[in-house]
A and B are shown apart, each in its own frame.
Chain A
Amino acid sequence: MNARVQHVELHAEDDGLDPGDVMLKVENVSLSFGGVKAISDISFDIRKGEIRAIIGPNGAGKTSMLNVINGFYHPQEGVITFRGQARSRMQPYEAAASGIARTFQNVALFKGMSTLDNIMSGRTLKMHKNFFWQVLNVGPARNEEIEHRLKVEEIIDFLEIQHIRKTPVGKLPYGLQKRVELGRALAMEPDLLLLDEPMAGMNLEEKEDMSRFILDVNNQMGTTIALIEHDMGVVMDISDRVVVLDYGRKIGDGPPEEVKNNQDVIDAYLGVSH
């Protein structure tokens, strides 16, 4: 590991919660599109400092769940409480402002912009200086730009993507794009990081790298993480607690070993003979 990585000072803001306290609570949430129920009556919580996995077969409602948490979808029923505040109809940018960052299942990057600019865009909410100063690039705005650039460089070092700093991300291979997307989310210094299939389409080596990054983010920066993943090996290895969805319902919730032996979960994955 790079020596500079030791000095990473990125961390989630102090929100008065101790590790283990409930950070986000989902209560009786239901979401439907027209007549199709994507999520029915789901409740679970995410505790500060943990890695929480959301698993389930295809179409189980995992991504819908993430979309509800960060405000892309508004559930018809139920309450979501983030850091003690219940919210209704929150917009995605408000979720971002309150400390929730995310990545997407099929990589949503700004393809025409460089890696650096992509990650820099994660700092949008942290930059406050008047744009007239930014245009002139003097005084406070210049200092601010430098300060944010430093943070971004730390993230680039941390994710070991120095060599693609100036490359337009549209040109990068898939695995690296995923990494840049993680970088952009980290640049927001979120309290809660939502990862939608961070390892989809990766080879073994890339998966190992990504697992290491996720664990490091969790340990070193103290970021709470909720992730969706299909690779059971990875999920069982890195997560503290797992919630299992099937056809929009919750069928299991608990530590990995417990979930692994849950009969409903085994049935959902392997099928049951009727």
Chain B
Amino acid sequence: MDFLYSILVDPFVQMVELPDFFLQVLWEGFVAGVLYALIALGFVLIFKASGVFNFAQGIMVVFAGLTLVGLHEKGVPAYLALILTIGVMGILALAVERFVMRPLVNQPDIILLMSTIGLTYFLVGFGEFVFGGEPKQMITEELGLPTGSTAFEIGDGGLLILQHIDIAAAVIALIMVGALALFFNKTRIGRALRAVADDHQAALSVGISLNQIWAIVWFAAGIVALTTGIMWGARSDVSFALEIIAFKALPVLILGGFTSIPGAIVGGLIIGIGEKVGEIYWGPLVGGGIESWLAYMIALIFLLFRPQGLFGERIIERV
């Protein structure tokens, strides 16, 4: 009975007793969720247009962040460095299309996946070679991003503290998602992207250039990576350790559906908030540390009931 009580009742009692702390946990979870969503967004973009799971999305985040900070260290003004970094991501997109994707057209997906793993190692090596391996401080202030925090009083004497940078991250993520949704649903290129995802041959036959489409999605994914790099880098440092946060995107994608932009957002938020709340309120029951695997558990349970994810395109197959 005691055990059941501590699982089913006690955590909720705690939540009600300390509402300001609970809100703080929710907010932290929300912010982490926004960043997960941004990473997942990069994956969704490339998956939608080519059916490729881009293993290199994580390292692209690091690479973009490093390029930005590295350029600034070499004396380039912050905004110019930002523009140059966007340029670098553009060049990267063109290079990936020309040297990785194009020679592998019509190969099985597993081959394309392997090629993105190769790309990961290349970017790790190249990044270390150019910018060195030690962690760097993100140039938050120079880019004009807000620092500092605001405290709200909750109830009697409770405090909710919001970091300004987190608020900025949420707003920027929102704008980005809106822009991408419009791009995908309203434009000719968006329709072409969806067409390419469905059937390469058919897309070619109506006059869509695969090369052009791939360069565009990789560039878009590069921009998303840069944004993620800045936001995540502002919270910790920019270092190659960030690469592994990419794996956080996996449960988010399973939850939200690999092809859905809203799915990436909602999935990210569910995982982010679920993780934090689980860790704080249920974690102590098993000695803590559940944050690292809870996301995968949630994803696993979802897979059982909705293999296409919350918002994934319905799997249509006529037999």
Contacts and interface: CB of A to CB of B under 8 A. Distances in A.
A122 B199 contact: no
B124 interface: no
Given A108-B205, A127-B188, A131-B183, A121 B195 contact: yes
B201 A124 contact: no
B32 to A, nearest CB: 30
Nearest to B196: A110
Contacts of B183: 131, 135
Contact of A124 (B182, B188, B199, B317): B188
Interface in B201-239: 201-210
A136 to B, nearest CB: 8
Contacts of A122: 206
Interface of B: 179, 182-183, 186-189, 191-192, 194-195, 197-199, 201-210, 313-314, 316-318
Contact of B195 (A96, A97, A110, A134): A110
* Secondary structure type dominating chain B contacts: helix
Contacts of A79: none
A121 B192 CA distance: 7
Contacts of B201: 72, 104, 108
Contacts of A161: none
A121 B205 CA distance: 10
A175 interface: no
B187 A131 contact: yes
A127 B188 CA distance: 7
A120 interface: yes
A137 interface: yes
Most buried by A among B188, B208, B318: B188
Contacts of B205: 70, 92, 96, 101-102, 104, 108, 185
Interface residues of A, number: 34
Contact of B206 (A113, A125, A170): A125
10 contacts: A72-B204, A91-B209, A93-B208, A104-B202, A108-B202, A108-B205, A109-B198, A110-B198, A111-B198, A125-B206
B194 A134 contact: no
B207 A135 contact: no
A59 interface: no
A112 interface: yes
B182 A135 contact: yes
